[in-house]
Amino acid sequence: MPVDIEPKELLEAQRAGRPVVLVDCREPWEWDIVHLPGAVLIPLGQLSSRADEVPRTGDVIVYCHHGVRSRRGAAILRHAGVEAARSLAGGIDEWALTIDPSYPRY
């Protein structure tokens, strides 16, 4: 399974009705600026201690601002037993650029 998922792939999965768990691993101040609907906020620094809050099955997509922290976050979750954890390529910034330009960019 690829480590990353492209924003368009995520959108297709959501439109197809596949259950997707979104984990935002940014900081609360970033979440306050913009976040994806239905996401749960678990900052990267808390992810290993809160990994039990994330389902062990299904599509688990971790995202951050540009996709760097989320790759680390997905690796943390995979190590904790969330085998399907992947990172949103380009983060929420790429989502705003390619999927929904109404999202604030920072």
Question: Has domain 4-98 been given CATH number 3.40.250.10?
Answer: yes
Q: Band the pLDDT of 33: cuts 50, 70, 90.
A: very high
Report residue 101 as tokens: 């330009």
Tokens of 27: 């900081």
pLDDT digits (tens, 9 = 90+) for 45-91: 999 999 999 998 789 999 999 999 999 999 999 999 999 999 999 99
Q: Which amino acids are annotated catalytic? A: 64
Closest CA to 9 of 58, 59, 56: 59
Helix (H) or strand (E) holding 96: helix 91-98
At 56 the pLDDT is: 86
Q: Residue 31: pLDDT above 80?
A: yes
24: enclosing H helix or E strand: strand 20-24
Q: Where are the domains of the chain?
A: 4-98
How high does pLDDT run on average in the chain? Answer: 96
The angle that helices 91-98 and 7-15 make with each other, rounded to 10 degrees, is: 70
